[in-house]
Amino acid sequence: MPTEVMLMKKLWLILAVVLIAAFALVGCAARPETSLPSNPGTNAGSSNDSVTTDPLPGGNVAGEDRKIVYEIDASYRVASTTDALAVVKNAMAEGEWTDYESGGGSYAYLTVRIRTERLDAFLAAIAPIGERTQYEKRSVDVTGSYADLESRLAMREAEYASLADLLERATDFSEILAVNTRMREVEAEIDSIKRALASYDARIDYSTVRISLYAESVDPPVSFGQQIDEASKSGWNAFVGFFRAVAVGIAISYPFLIVIAAIVAVVIVIIVIVRRKNKNKQSGIPVLQQQDPQTGNGNPIPQPVPLPEKRKPPKYKF
């Protein structure tokens, strides 16, 4: 009997360990992946002005001769993005243009180029479109780079003039070829420097303004009936979601359930066999072989053990 109890305890312990491992694997498989959170943006209502100075080789330059590039980023909370876009475009003067525009519905974004001398006037003209939630102004002093390009341009133009004069006086073919080759190189450098200066002029004369528009929708007050309706919908969705999650969990754990069922069946069979053996041992019924009279083969059958005879009590004479 103690042996049977110990065996059953071991079998149930093994079954419990298998069940815990299976449910742990199911939980790991069904666990959703979490994503880490994104970086926060600029705080609403913030304002920032920054100036980057490009050092000028050869000394300082008077303030009115400095070359400064301005860039502005501004965000507005508006009632209607369509109306706000119309106000922004109407505030632009002749010669100013839109570099980029996108959005729709409750969001719009555009980049405009505004003449630098009327930048403040433009910002004042679009102020009524709504609440400005973010503002940043960057100023980059490119005076040094601009002066360096002008100096290089003057040098290359002087070199090109000298080469042109030398070409007129050249008589040898190889000398003419070498002068022409160098003139083409200098001309390419001059074109490149002029394009860089033109790009600087465009950025200096026309500031870049990037505007973001957000339409804030105002929700109407919710009545008591609507609250009840929303609560009913939420409860029903939660009810359906619960059984949907249960169905998904069963589908995920289906292979594990098959394995567990097989293990449970084996354990039950072992327990039944052990109990039958112990029952036969306790009954004390010997197992005899019943043979077939023709073949001599047969199956063991239990034979009753004869009970001891009852003795009569002795009679005493008095």
pTM for the whole structure: 0.49
User: What is the reported pLDDT for 7?
Assistant: 52
Taking the C-alpha atoms of residue 156 and residue 163, their distance in angstroms, rounded to an integer, is 10
Taking the C-alpha atoms of residue 33 and residue 117, their distance in angstroms, rounded to an integer, is 53
Rg from Cα positions in the chain: 48
User: Would you state the structure tokens that stand for residue 236, as one six-digit string?
Assistant: 């029903």
Can you say whether the dihedral through the CA atoms of 182, 184, 190, 196 is positive or negative?
negative
User: What is the reported pLDDT for 17?
Assistant: 46
Q: Treating both helix axes as pointing N-terminal to C-terminal, what angle do 81-90 and 119-126 enclose, rounded to 10 degrees?
A: 150
The domain ranges of the chain are: 2-28+233-276, 46-215
Taking the C-alpha atoms of residue 93 and residue 122, their distance in angstroms, rounded to an integer, is 9
What value, to the nearest 5°, has the Cα angle with vertex 89 and ends 83 and 94?
A: 160
User: 178: how many CB neighbours lie within 10 A of its CB?
Assistant: 15
Over its length of 318 residues, how does the chain's per-residue pLDDT go in tens digits? 455 555 555 555 555 544 554 444 444 444 433 333 333 333 334 556 554 544 444 445 555 588 999 999 999 999 999 999 999 999 999 999 999 999 877 899 999 999 999 999 999 999 999 999 999 999 999 999 999 999 999 999 999 999 999 888 888 888 889 999 999 999 999 999 999 999 999 999 999 999 999 997 655 566 777 778 888 888 888 888 888 888 887 778 778 778 888 888 888 888 888 888 777 766 655 544 555 555 555 555 555 555 566 566 665 554
